[in-house]
Amino acid sequence: MSVETAADRAVFVDPGDFGVTATYALQGIGSVPLAGLFDEPAADSFGDGAGGGMASASPSFTCRSADLPGAAHADDMLILPPELGGRSFFVRVIRPDGTGMTVLQLEEADAGEAPSGDWGSLGDAVGPTVDFGSLG
In Å, how far from its chain's centre is CA 44?
Answer: 23
Tally of domains in the chain? 1
Instruction: Report yes or no on 59 lying in a domain.
Output: yes
For residue 25, the model assigns a pLDDT of: 93
Instruction: Report yes or no on 129 lying in a domain.
Output: no
Residue 112 buriedness (CB in 10 A; 0-12 / 13-18 / 19+)? exposed
Spatial CB neighbours of 4, under 8 Å, sequence gap ≥ 6: 99, 100
Specify which residues 110 forms β-bridges with: none
- Per-residue pLDDT of 2-33, as tens digits, reads 567 888 888 889 998 889 999 999 988 889 99
Instruction: Report yes or no on 48 lying in a domain.
Output: yes
Quick check: 116 and 109 in contact, CB under 8 A? no
Instruction: Report yes or no on 127 lying in a domain.
Output: no
Q: How far apart are CA 122 and CA 117, in angstroms?
A: 14
Its sign, for the CA torsion 123, 128, 134, 136, is negative
Instruction: Report yes or no on 120 lying in a domain.
Output: no
CATH number, domain containing residue 100: 2.40.10
- Per-residue pLDDT of 97-132, as tens digits, reads 999 999 999 999 986 664 544 545 444 333 333 343
Q: How far apart are CA 13 and CA 132, in angstroms?
A: 9
Instruction: Report yes or no on 88 lying in a domain.
Output: yes
Instruction: Report yes or no on 119 lying in a domain.
Output: no
- Per-residue pLDDT of 46-95, as tens digits, reads 555 555 555 557 899 999 999 998 888 888 999 999 999 999 999 999 99
45 in the Ramachandran plot: left (φ > 0), alpha (ψ -120 to 50) or beta?
A: beta
Quick check: 35 and 127 in contact, CB under 8 A? no
Instruction: Report yes or no on 115 lying in a domain.
Output: no
* Domain, as residue range, for 68: 6-110
